[in-house]
């Protein structure tokens, strides 16, 4: 057998991990050991894994802070759902329709990702963070007021109310302002989610381990040095933002087809959601793809599993978050961990000596 490089091995471990997880869940489900509440988690977990991995591409690999990742998910969710509603009668084979919906959602999100990429070229650090945050809020605000419908004359828009669109009698309202889209076909399931996770991992890992990926990391580590050896910064930054947005868009399509109603209310698509995904990325390890996957799975399920704490649930979550951050990142804690691991190693070394 050919000797595998370290990066290939790492990628394969990640695929294997996801497939093993899928197999375990499927076996438990066949044995009937999966509670209804756990079943409800399966698709959202896939969605947030995709979100975390794609955000890690921007935050970890490119080294730019983005606080508007949920905005791309929102675009994907809406465009995908609109497509499915429009073609519900013409394309009756659900898997084909859903595949096209995912591609369309990803494409629209990619378009916006490229649009957001343009200010990225001028802005750095916290200024960029605030622009992405602003972008996410604008998207959330817009989908909240938009009305969209279709009749025999074509498509109709209005920012005021569904009545203002002037639909003909045969018209169908697709987005009804803050009430959003209802009656989306529920095409999402765990298998599709896992397939999308694998595709996401495939795209991200191959990008990171390619020549382009090394160029991107060079930009992260030292922009000026990278530029001086002829790396096209504009091209690579736009590339990362577009790919990351497209993946988030695909996750959004998965989201909108998981429930029959889609609105922008609550914390689904605003900066809180973006921040939650950022928390997954940072706790999983910035730039570490496997870490993002594991952190997204655990941290998505953790608050739900803490339900027995009822009112104290989010309080405990907040404390866990702070303590983990302090323990993982503070220079003092790092020193402490090193001392402890050194002592443990020394202990084992002694035992071996006495045995010998």
Partner 1 sequence: MSFLNHLINGFSLGSVYAIIALGYTMVYGIAKMLNFAHGDVIMVGAFAVFISMTSMGASALLSLIIAMAVCTALGVLIEKVAYRPLRNASSSLAVLITAIGVSYLLQNLALLIFGADSKSFTSIVDLKAVKLFDGQVSISGTAIVTITACIVIMIGLTLFVNKTKAGQAMKAVSEDKGAAQLMGINVNATISLTFAIGSALAAVAGALMCSAYPNLTPYSGTMPGIKAFVAAVFGGIGSIPGAMIGGLLIGIIENIGKAYISSQMADAIVFAILVVVLLIKPTGILGKNIQEKV
Interface residues toward partner 1, by CB under 8 A: 59, 65, 119, 122-124, 126-127, 129-131, 133-135, 137-138, 141-142, 144-145, 159, 224-225, 271, 275, 278-279, 282-283, 286, 311-312, 314-315, 317-319, 321-322, 325-326, 328-333
User: Between residues 74 and 253, which has the closer beta carbon with respect to partner 1?
Assistant: 74
Q: Which is nearer to partner 1, 314 or 344 (CB)?
A: 314
Measured at the CA of 187, the angle between CA 158 and CA 191, to 5 degrees, comes to 140
Minimum distance from residue 304 beta carbon to partner 1 (Å): 16
Q: Is 356 exposed, middle or buried (0-12, 13-18, 19+ CB in 10 A)?
A: exposed
Helices (H), the chain: 6-30, 36-56, 69-86, 94-122, 125-145, 190-208, 211-221, 223-228, 233-256, 271-284, 289-305, 313-329, 331-355
Name the residue nearer to partner 1 (CB basis): 42 or 282. 282
**Choice between 146 and 197, CB closer to partner 1:** 146
Q: How far is the CB of 85 from partner 1 (least distance, A)?
A: 23
Q: Give dist(CA 291, CA 287) in Å, integer.
A: 8
Q: Sheet containing 172-176: which strands, arranged edge to edge?
A: 154-158, 147-151, 172-176
Q: Mark residue 157 as left, alpha or beta (left: phi above 0; alpha: psi -120 to 50; beta: remaining).
A: beta
How many C-beta neighbours within 10 Å does residue 78 have?
29
Q: How far is the CB of 76 from partner 1 (least distance, A)?
A: 19
CB of 56 to partner 1, least distance (A): 12
Complex with partner 1: residue 85 or 140, whichever CB lies closer: 140
| Nearest distance from C-beta of residue 312 to partner 1, angstroms | 7
- The CB-of-322 to partner 1 minimum distance in angstroms stands at 4
Shorter beta-carbon distance to partner 1: residue 327 or 342: 327
């Amino acid at each position: 057998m050919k000797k595998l490089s370290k990066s290939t091995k790492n990628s394969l471990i990640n695929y294997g991990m996801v497939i093993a997880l899928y197999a375990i869940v499927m076996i438990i489900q066949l044995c009937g050991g999966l509670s209804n509440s756990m079943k409800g988690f399966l698709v959202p977990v896939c969605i947030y894994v995709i979100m975390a991995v794609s955000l890690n591409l921007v935050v970890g690999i490119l080294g730019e802070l983005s606080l508007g990742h949920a905005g791309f998910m929102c675009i994907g969710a809406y465009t995908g759902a609109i497509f499915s509603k429009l073609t519900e009668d013409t394309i009756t084979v659900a898997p084909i329709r859903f595949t096209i919906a995912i591609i369309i959602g990803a494409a629209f999100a990619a378009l916006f990702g490229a649009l957001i990429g343009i200010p990225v070229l001028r802005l750095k650090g916290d200024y960029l963070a605030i622009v992405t945050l602003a972008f996410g809020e604008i998207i959330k605000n817009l989908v909240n007021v938009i009305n969209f419908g279709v009749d025999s004359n074509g498509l109709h828009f209005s920012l005021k109310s569904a009545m203002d669109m002037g639909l003909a009698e045969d018209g169908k309202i697709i987005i009804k302002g803050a009430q959003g889209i209802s009656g989306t076909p529920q095409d999402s399931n765990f298998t599709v989610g896992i397939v999308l996770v694998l595709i996401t991992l495939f795209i991200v890992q191959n990008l990171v381990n390619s020549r382009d990926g090394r160029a991107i990391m060079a930009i992260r580590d030292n922009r000026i040095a990278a530029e001086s050896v002829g790396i096209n910064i504009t091209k690579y930054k736009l590339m990362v933002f577009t790919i990351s947005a497209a993946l988030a868009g695909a996750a959004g399509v998965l989201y909108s087809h998981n429930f029959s109603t889609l609105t922008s209310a609550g914390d689904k698509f605003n900066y809180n959601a973006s921040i939650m995904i950022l928390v997954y990325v940072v706790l999983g390890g910035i730039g570490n793809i496997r870490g993002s996957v594991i952190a997204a799975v655990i941290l998505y399920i953790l608050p739900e599993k803490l339900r027995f704490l009822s009112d104290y649930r989010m309080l405990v979550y907040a404390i866990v978050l702070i303590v983990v951050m302090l323990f993982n990142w503070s220079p003092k804690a790092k020193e402490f961990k090193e001392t402890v691991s050194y002592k443990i190693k020394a202990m084992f070394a002694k035992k071996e000596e006495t045995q010998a």
